[in-house]
Structure 1
Amino acid sequence: MTQAANTKLKALLEYGPLVAFFIAYLKLKDEVFTFGGTEYQGFIVVTAGFIPLFLIATGLLWKLTGHLSRMQVVTAVLIVVFGGLSVYFNDERFFKMKPTLIYLLFGGVLGLGLLRGQSYLKSVMEGLMPLKQEGWMILTKRVTGLFLGLAVLNEVIWRSMPTETWVYFKTFGLPAAVFLFFMFQGGLFKKYSIAEESVAEGDKAE
């Protein structure tokens, strides 16, 4: 399999389950299903289908890449736990709280590292963005703020707005917020890039 095909398949495995959840919700949101004498709203039924789909996609991703990040593993665990609680108790609130807990957990871990004078983000992303230590510390502070902010935003939206609004927010709003955040870090990447520094020093030597 070519690298381009691998990249496309990886993206499909990462985002496919979320898109499938969104499409299934739009089709079943107004339906009510009865299992064992208990009525379940479409959201709960879609959540029940999303859990195994996500686990299958994660397993295939692990087989394709040979590894899973800590973030992917923790996300999978929380989806199983809180998705399972929503299905078991027939209560959509558990699943809606899942993004809050994910962002609080990751933000808290990064914040703990900052208190210890370390960038835990560096150990996860260093291979993607070689930065000087000062750059990693600044970026970690910003990512910590992003995660905590998204946790608060998720709480506000699921508690005060209709389920459909939350589904749109979960499917498009959260990924877009993370994407835009890193797009606006271009100045930091350029200023603290080790590669940029090495090139500049090489030009001076010539």
Structure 2
Amino acid sequence: MSKAADPSRAVHPALKLVLELGPLIVFFFANSRGDLFVATGAFMAATVVSLTASWVLMRRLPVMPLVSGVVVMVFGGLTLALQDELFIKLKPTIVNLLFAGALFVGVAFDRPLLAIVFDQAFELTHRGWMKLSIRWAWFFVVLAALNEAVWRTQTTDFWVAFKVWGIMPITMAFAMAQAPLLQRYSAGDAAAE
């Protein structure tokens, strides 16, 4: 299939952002209106809706939301079945460590997995993908540690708010900080040279 006919390109970036952030926003507001168990059920439902909408619109499921969605279902289900907040609080730690581990394994085998995830967004040299993969892997480790520190030392409401309103700005700032690397290792610039 040619890139022009790729249905994933037809979805506006703002809509993709809504599909990825929507379940978190639902989680936050459901927690503010009920409790963590109500929020967990709403989060699970919103995740299914988001993944379904992604499939309908793009005819594929983005890797990161898919992995996160599977972990939401497992740990959200455990949270509700056992009525224990621990499982949903561990979910971000586990997802971030899974992403970090996958990226580190990819780097160890000289196969930068971010190139697969972001291939439509950026064209980088192999060295650029490797460097970007290492940076994101360490960033995911930091996010896992942050989640552990916050849920273990703060109230549940603070943790929920931090998960929604703290992690996203931190992630966006980190992503923007990668702009010099993206520019330096752009495959188009390398080809021009």
TM-score, scaled relative to structure 1? 0.83
Q: Secondary structure at the match of 2:51?
A: helix
**1:171 equivalent among 164, 169, 174:** 164
Counterparts of residues 125-140 of structure 1 (less than 5 Å): 125-140=118-133
Bigger radius of gyration: 1
- Tell me: CA distance 1:4–1:67, structure 2 relative to 1, closer, same or farther (3 Å): closer
Q: Distance in 2 between matches of 1:5 and 1:100?
A: 30
1:142, distance to aligned residue in structure 2 (A): 0.4
Q: Secondary structure at the match of 1:67?
A: coil
1:48 aligns with 2:41: yes
- 1:33 counterpart residue number: none
Q: Provide, for residues 53-89 of structure 1, a one-character-per-residue CA deviation record: whole Å limited to 9, x for no partner.
A: 2102210111011111222221111001000111111
- 1:14 counterpart residue number: 20
- 2:84 counterpart residue number: 91
Q: Distance in 2 between matches of 1:18 and 1:182?
A: 19
Counterparts of residues 29-48 of structure 1 (less than 5 Å): 42-48=35-41
Q: Percent identity of the aligned residues? A: 36
Query: Which piece of structure 1 moves more, 99-108 or 114-123?
Result: 114-123
- 2:4 counterpart residue number: none
Q: Distance in 2 between matches of 1:129 and 1:7?
A: 14
1:197 aligns with 2:193: no
Q: Secondary structure at the match of 1:144?
A: helix
1:6, distance to aligned residue in structure 2 (A): 4.2
1:58 aligns with 2:64: no
Q: Cα RMSD (Å) of the superposition?
A: 1.8
**1:122 equivalent among 100, 115, 125:** 115
Unaligned 5+ residue runs, structure 2?
A: 1-8
Matched letter for residue 163 of structure 1: T
Task: Report if aligned partners of 2:93, 2:144 keep a CA contact under 8 Å in 1.
Answer: yes
Q: Distance in 2 between matches of 1:64 and 1:135?
A: 30
TM-score, scaled relative to structure 2? 0.89
Q: Distance in 2 between matches of 1:167 and 1:153?
A: 13
